[in-house]
Structure 1
Amino acid sequence: MTHNTPLSPRPRPLHSLADGRRRPMTVAQLRAHGVSAAETNEQCRPGGPWQQLLPNVVLLHPGPPTSEERLHAVLLYAARDRGAGPASGAAPAVSVSVPVQPGAEHPPVSAYAEAMITGLAALTLHGFSAAPPLPSLDVVDVLVPRMRRLRTTGCARIVRTTALPTPVELTGVPVAPVARALADAVAELTDPGTVRRLLTEAVRGGHCEPAAVVRELNRARLLSRPHVVDAVDSLVAEGRALAEQRLYRMVREHALPEPVWNVDLRLPGGPHLGGVDAFWPEQAVALELDTRAHRKQEDDAAWAEHTRKREHLERLGITVVHLTPRKLRDCPEHQAAVVRTALMAAGDREPAAYVVVLPR
């Protein structure tokens, strides 16, 4: 051997692997540290210092796993490469800067290729007060592509999808977006009160808009369940109330003229033209909030009716401004400018037809 001959990596002592690493590792990771399969089996014997938590996933201490360790173990079990390293082409997680507990050591989130926490565990990580604490969950839902050959086992429940969403990074783990996590949680829940509380908190807590939740519930084919339909009705009502509050705040904070709120429009002695959320009679400008739930069986008819009403009002010379709850939440300044522009342009238009304004 010459001085230029590369030396083989020296295996780390088994005790040094566990020092400061109260987290799981895969058999492949242990092998990379010089621990053979025989040594791993020996360490995981009954009464030994390690334990096999899931297939090919070893916990480097004998006691019960912490909630954090269970999350990482489930991800290691479900990741395409079983934690051996990041896979190419994986969608990066969106970081939300949630602090990790001091001293905790984690693999990079990219190592969990094509796997992310979903369901109730994900909602808990998103900060839902209506979701149970992690230690009380018997299983952790993990979302993987539909074609993966994995089975539910131990504390890992496999949830499959044809299209993985982009995960959010929370406490060092990839987590499904709120709408997707809600749908996966609701799929396993039968208590109407729990379903209603989770859906309501999603909107009231500002996690997402009702339309996004209903789209995911529809994709999961959950809208045929009566208790889910009832919860969706509460969700839509909650979303509309929040959107109206944002609209009132926008008008007040951006010094727009005060409209008449929630009125019906009619032609004198003629047909009903439809209801609008706000109306400026002098400028003949109407405003509508789109708070439709996007339920598949209702969406086409609702959109056709909305289009018919808008076209009829515009033929009468009334400008219709269309706002969504998401736009009001994310960019109220821009929406206020849209309304102000419509009001200022009223003087350049032909006078609108006279309409009767009635409380809705």
Structure 2
Amino acid sequence: MTHNTPLSPRPLRHLSDVHRRVVTTAQLRSHGVSTAELTERCRPDGPWRQLLPNVVLLHPGPPTSEERLHGALLYAARESTPGVPVQPTAQSPHRPVYREAMLTGLAALTLYGFSSTPSLLSLDHVDVLVPRLRRIRSTGYVRVVRTPDLPTPRAVTGLPVAPVPRALADAVADLKDPQEVRRLLTEAVRGGHCEPAAVVRELTSAKLLTRPHVVDAVDSLLAEGRAIAEDRLYRMVRTYGLPDPVWNVDLRLPGGPHLAGLDAYWPDQAVAVELDTRAPRQDEDALWSEYARKREHLERLGITVVYITPRKLREAMEQQAAVVRTALMASGDRDPAAYVVVLPR
């Protein structure tokens, strides 16, 4: 039998091409390959090679980037219950399920299309995220990353990949160069991969905000995220034909105290828009209470306040424009608002 001969007794026709090239020793045994035959085929000049513990590459020579990723997942995935094979899913009939394992870190970001990450083949290691209590350790080119709460993976090129914020946190944990960290975080926001708040939550959870170079990058990230959200707000007003507001203003009572800083305000209709860009590093409850107090105060004065998150602007701009338009149209049915002084911020 040559290394190209289908394995008996059950050929692997249900698998994709790469899954015929990278298999586990358990799969080989189930197809009639004995331990002695496996050892013989994986000798230095043999047709197969041991890629990782219990993972075999069914051809000589180095693995491709795709084979390395599949091999890492095969190594880290939890084995199925004996006698109950894990079947391909209806959505991916030619791809086996990797239980309790997903790609994270730089490899995951490269799969998401980040331009500031290395190529897959040039990576020294591939990070794989697993539950904290799994009894598995890093080996070869695979680095095991543990978490108490495994997130729901996204399918990228058919592979289970950690959500971008989590992958970013796992990548940043290993980076010492401030410029590299800043480039990754900036690309995540500019490229529309995720919102700054989600990134900061993951960095906080990973206890990475004790590192000065990460804190500096996060400050730049939040400023970048706010600038992008403001640009989208301008675009929303233009694209959906809303009346021009006054931008970035402070409201004060005549001769009285400061009331609020607003991103957009329509004085004739007494409608205000504020971007909700709360930083998760701050006390969420205290900050939300501050937002609520400000909104309540303004609405007692007859001013309608619409809060819009950067994510809603990115994903549902037309819907947010409709909310603002409704508030503007409803102004004619309300009692006149109190007189306030509008100043540039």
Corresponding residue for residue 65 of structure 1: 63
Whether 1:203 aligns to 2:189 is: yes
Corresponding residue for residue 5 of structure 2: 16
Contact 1:182 1:199 in 2 (8 A): yes
1:93/1:291 CA distance change after superposition, 3 Å: farther
1:158 to 126, 144, 165: 144
Corresponding residue for residue 80 of structure 1: 78
Contact 1:109 1:174 in 2 (8 A): no
Q: Could you give the per-residue CA deviations for residues 175-209 of structure 1, whole angstroms, max 9, x where no partner exists?
A: 11111111111111111111111011001001011
Secondary structure at the aligned position of 2:5 is classed as helix
Corresponding residue for residue 131 of structure 2: 145
Corresponding residue for residue 311 of structure 2: 326
In the aligned structure 2, how far is the partner of 1:326 from the partner of 1:141?
28
Instruction: After TM superposition, give the deviation of residue 310 of structure 1 in Å.
Output: 1.4
1:348/1:185 CA distance change after superposition, 3 Å: same
Corresponding residue for residue 39 of structure 1: 37
| Aligned 1:99-248 pairs, distance under 5 A | 108-110=95-97, 112-248=98-234
Point out where structure 2 has 5 or more consecutive residues left out of the alignment. none
Amino acid corresponding to residue 46 of structure 2 in structure 1? G
1:309 to 294, 299, 307: 294
Contact 1:76 1:83 in 2 (8 A): no
In the aligned structure 1, how far is the partner of 2:80 from the partner of 2:181?
33
Secondary structure at the aligned position of 1:136 is classed as coil
RMSD: 2.4
Contact 1:93 1:167 in 2 (8 A): no
Secondary structure at the aligned position of 2:249 is classed as strand
Corresponding residue for residue 284 of structure 1: 270
1:86/1:329 CA distance change after superposition, 3 Å: farther
Q: Report the identity percentage.
A: 72
Contact 1:146 1:162 in 2 (8 A): yes
Contact 2:3 2:58 in 1 (8 A): no
Secondary structure at the aligned position of 2:237 is classed as helix
Secondary structure at the aligned position of 2:343 is classed as strand
Whether 1:51 aligns to 2:49 is: yes
Corresponding residue for residue 5 of structure 1: none
In the aligned structure 2, how far is the partner of 1:357 from the partner of 1:93?
59
1:342/1:119 CA distance change after superposition, 3 Å: same
In the aligned structure 1, how far is the partner of 2:23 from the partner of 2:80?
9
TM-score by length of 2: 0.91
TM-score by length of 1: 0.87
Corresponding residue for residue 102 of structure 1: none
Contact 2:275 2:307 in 1 (8 A): yes
Point out where structure 1 has 5 or more consecutive residues left out of the alignment. 1-11, 96-105
Instruction: After TM superposition, give the deviation of residue 13 of structure 1 in Å.
Output: 5.4
In the aligned structure 2, how far is the partner of 1:316 from the partner of 1:142?
54
Secondary structure at the aligned position of 1:287 is classed as strand
In the aligned structure 2, how far is the partner of 1:329 from the partner of 1:165?
23
Q: Could you give the per-residue CA deviations for residues 248-275 of structure 1, whole angstroms, max 9, x where no partner exists?
A: 1111111111000000000110000120
**Aligned length in residues:** 335
Secondary structure at the aligned position of 1:275 is classed as strand
Whether 1:338 aligns to 2:323 is: yes
Secondary structure at the aligned position of 1:15 is classed as coil
Q: Could you give the per-residue CA deviations for residues 132-179 of structure 1, whole angstroms, max 9, x where no partner exists?
A: 111110100001111110000001100111122121222221111111
In the aligned structure 2, how far is the partner of 1:66 from the partner of 1:31?
24
Contact 1:168 1:175 in 2 (8 A): yes
